[in-house]
Amino acid sequence: MSKQQNILIIGAGLCGSLLALRLGQRGFNVSVYEMRPDLRKVDISAGRSINLAFSNRGNKAMKLVGLEDKVKSLCIPMHGRMIHDEHGNTFQSNYSGRDHEYINSISRGDLNALLLNEAETHKNVNIYFNKKCKSVNFEKTTALFQDYETKDEFVEDADIIIATDGAGSTLRKSYYLGKKFLFSFSQEYLTHGYKELSILPKENGGFKVHKNVLHIWPRGSFMLIALPNLDGSFTVTLFLSYDEGEYNFNNLTTEERVLEFFRKEFPDALALMPNLVEDFFENPTAPLGTVKCSPWHYKGNTLLMGDAAHAIVPFYGQGMNASFEDVVVFDNVLDQHEGNWETVFREYEKTRKIDTDAIADLAIDNFHEMKDHVANPIFQEKRKLEMALEKEFPDEYSSKYSLVTFNENIGYREAMLKGRAQDKAILNMLTDKDIEVKGDLKRILDKVKQETEAILEDDRIAGLKH
């Protein structure tokens, strides 16, 4: 495969800009077309999650492109969840019993800008803004664009096209509408949407609440979360049903009702948010959904990557991390099969899809965990036990959360299967009155391991039967 090959990338978001950088480093000619203006010059953050939880899988990709240190300087470590109950009491539940394992809050804009800057240092990478892709001819490997400023339309061709244009991907629509091959596609919305709010910094620029945690106000069927920003503010996100329950997005239509809702459900948060009403009515309410599809590629011509291939709900904090990990997996496949795009695309999808399907399902599970289970005593007992096991036996035990978030050496699917089996084993122990879950941690660890293996074996047998 000649390195002079032209690769066209649609979308210069988090995945597209990282992919452009990596392919630029590998020596390909890369052109990226982004529909929005250059975020380094224009403030376009409104309506998108302003900050994100960045963790090991994302960091693995930063190591690949040599940006680990630069990204670190943008990060605020979050060691655990700070749970706020209805009475304003708080308690911290750490993400791991190992001190070196934590997640980070990072600004989407700063991270995207860094990736764009780094990609542009390569002469063989060109990024064009305000160019919206309208459709892709995947048989001819061409894409139709419209320039937002001049309104002119133009067609670009390339040796391959990779669409990293997010959850509403144009290439995916072209696959679907083209009806040239069997294309499976599902999109499932949650009945909940989200709205971004904020806690502003103190006047001296400090943080109004503890900065090194992810704050959660779980309320059973809805929740509020807050992640810190480097300027001392927090981005607060309300996850709430559109139309169910006493308070929902459809009936929070007046200032009085919004204040009544926050006074009743989140009084301690309200005290930190004098700007609540303004934020609430200025910021959009957006839906949350899961997209699964296959195949991701058409022959050796076109490929979907990142959210375009597998958009997930944000509750595991893994959408961006998974999209970054896509680039690492793609890079490994290129190492093995460079020279034959069709094989590269097929092998990439074969390797990757089982893992992105798994994280999609885990993210839905975590939606229920965050808004509800974290406030449940049995769940809290389970987390305490897991923390103790991780602390005492750091090389022998990792909770499901740790396997998914901190163990970048195994895929999401393996993390899911093992993590779910462990969860079942621990919950069985905690709810079985005949089993004493106290005292000797080594005995408990052995029991958890034994039960986990038995559950995994049952799963394997059930899988073989189906």
Instruction: Find the helix packing angle between 341-371 and 412-431, rounded to 10°.
Output: 30
Give min distance, CB of 451 to ligand FAD, in A: 31
- Gap between the Cα atoms of 98 and 228, Å rounded: 22
Report how far residue 281's alpha carbon sits from residue 298's, in angstroms, rounded to the nearest whole number: 43
Question: CA 158 to CA 133: how far, in whole Å?
Answer: 14
- Exactly one of 319, 344, 374, 451 binds ligand FAD (CB under 6 A); which one? 319
Residue of 121, 35, 48, 54 whose CA lies nearest to 325? 54
Considering only the stretches 48-56, 347-355, 393-401, 451-459, report the one whose residues sit in contact with ligand FAD under the rule CB under 6 A. Answer: 48-56
**Least CB distance to ligand FAD at residue 165 (A):** 4
CA–CA distance, 112 with 116 (Å, rounded to integer):
6
- Give the binding range for ligand FAD (CB under 6 A) out of 59-67, 291-299, 319-327, 384-392: 319-327
Nearest C-alpha neighbor of 103 from the set 119, 130, 80:
80
Can you name the residues that pair with 153 across neighbouring β-strands? 146
Contact 39, 115 (CB under 8 A): no
Report the site for ligand FAD in 234-293 (rule: CB under 6 A): 237
With CB under 6 A, what is the number of residues at the site for ligand FAD?
A: 32
Select 88 or 287, whichever has its Cβ closest to ligand FAD. 287
Tell the smallest beta-carbon distance from residue 315 to ligand FAD (Å): 9
Distance between CA atoms of 225 and 215, rounded to whole angstroms? 5
Q: Is 320 in the site for ligand FAD (CB under 6 A)?
A: yes
Binding ligand FAD by CB under 6 A: which of 25, 31, 318, 356? 318
Which residue is at the shortest CB distance from ligand FAD? 13
| 83 vs 372: CA distance, rounded Å | 11
DSSP 331-363: HHHHHHHTT-HHHHHHHHHHHHHHHHHHHHHHH
- Let me know: does 308 contact 163? Beta carbons within 8 Å: yes
Nearer to ligand FAD, 128 or 393 (CB): 128
**Residue 35 near ligand FAD by CB under 6 A:** yes
How near is the Cβ of 192 to ligand FAD at its closest, in Å?
11
- In the chain, DSSP finds a helix count (H) and a strand count (E) of 15, 19
Q: Please, which residue, 164 or 366, has the CB nearer to ligand FAD?
A: 164
List the one residue out of 127, 123, 118, 111 whose CA is nearest residue 50.
111
Q: Which of 11, 97, 228, 411 binds ligand FAD (CB under 6 A)?
A: 11
Cα–Cα distance for residue pair 34/133, rounded to 1 Å: 8
Is 451 a residue that touches ligand FAD (CB under 6 A)? no
Q: How many residues does the chain have?
A: 466
Q: Which of 321, 398, 399, 402 binds ligand FAD (CB under 6 A)?
A: 321
Residue 197, beta-bridge partner list: 236
Residue 327 as a binder of ligand FAD (CB under 6 A): the answer is no
Kindly give the pairing relationship between strand 153-157 and strand 29-33. unpaired
Which member of 7, 9, 15, 225 binds ligand FAD (CB under 6 A)? Answer: 15
Is the Cβ of residue 98 or residue 134 nearer to ligand FAD in the bound state? 134
Contact 235, 51 (CB under 8 A): yes
Q: What is the smallest separation between the CB atom of 305 and ligand FAD, expressed in angstroms?
A: 7
Alpha carbons 50 and 237: distance in angstroms, whole number? 10
Binding segment toward ligand FAD, per CB under 6 A, in 27-35, 120-128, 341-349, 421-429:
27-35
Q: Does 7 bind ligand FAD (CB under 6 A)?
A: no
Contacts (CB under 6 A) with ligand FAD, residues 143-162: none
Under the binding rule (CB under 6 A), the answer on residue 307 touching ligand FAD is: yes
Confirm or reject binding of residue 170 to ligand FAD (CB under 6 A): yes
Per-position x/- string for 52-91, each x denoting binding to ligand FAD as judged by CB under 6 A, each - no binding = xx--------------------------------------
Q: By CB under 6 A, name the binding residues for ligand FAD.
A: 10-16, 33-36, 49, 52-53, 132-133, 164-166, 170, 194, 237, 306-308, 314, 317-321, 323
